[in-house]
Structure 1
């Protein structure tokens, strides 16, 4: 395929990763032009960290640490800046780090949800310049017209699902979406989507299709 379409692969930046939770997954060796691909358990692709078990813990730790480092810089650089400037800095420099590609890695474990939420809370303390313990960052989200990041990720997933249903030519919907055929139209409509049966948490929680359809 590469030779047909004149595509050159940089094998120094190309690795092989198996996505499976099996203790002993089936392993194969892939070679191209005499070069054998290195097998890894985790890698980075377009800023998103992928792991073999699709747990996303490594990616969430990475983005939270990156966002906190940038927040620390803003606290020093904008210490006496007005509130509007601090809010704009958060929205343009920190929040995109916590949202990029979230349709793929949206966490379902509460510990990871809280870890991302804590970054937003610290940003609210920075915006109001209030670091005392009696200051409630959660109750001041509305004052800044900020939505919790969990709600933003949920809304983004629903938008992606709607876009796929509204533009079926983008992908083959038969492989991902099953419309419910009801005998009565009184309680259902022709775009009612049947939920997926998920036997494993990897499929139930770690892909946006089953979760978005359920919601």
Structure 2
């Protein structure tokens, strides 16, 4: 009887274990209802943001690559394959190169303005037009000299003039600063050397007139006679502008 009861208990335990083994996989397949109050979470697509360290490590836009002038960009192009120490030395010299570029641009602009003033002065002077013709044209510049002392610029130019003549001008900036102004102009041609007035109100003397000039005034003396007018002398004092 005891053996029978032991066998019955063992049989009962075996059946219970088998039942648990069958129920475990079935429970794993059961899915509960999805709550409508909690929608599924949506994640935004990953995007690549700008590199915050780009400005510190030299990453720049293509538009910013050529901010320098012709000399700076030419130096960069020349030294693009140079060793690192040479490139570092070039970077140290760039401020000086930039200042040189600015000075060259300003000098070119000042020279062009002086040549335009000289062209107008030559066209106003009757002696120049009588010597070289009515269509006086300034040609190329073959000599240039400039200086800058205490902020006062001085520019000297020598240039060719149509008709086989040459010219020389001098420009000086005011003491309070500003662009250089034309202060003197000479023309050499046909065996003559003429000092051309540079003031807007000045004009050259006409052909055939004789006169003497000092620093402030010019006296012209001419005589007329005949034709019932009688002989006379007319003195004219003209103050140069």
TM-score, normalised by the number of residues in structure 2: 0.19
| Structure (1/2) with the larger helix percentage | 1
| Structure (1/2) with the larger strand percentage | 2
TM-score, normalised by the number of residues in structure 1: 0.20
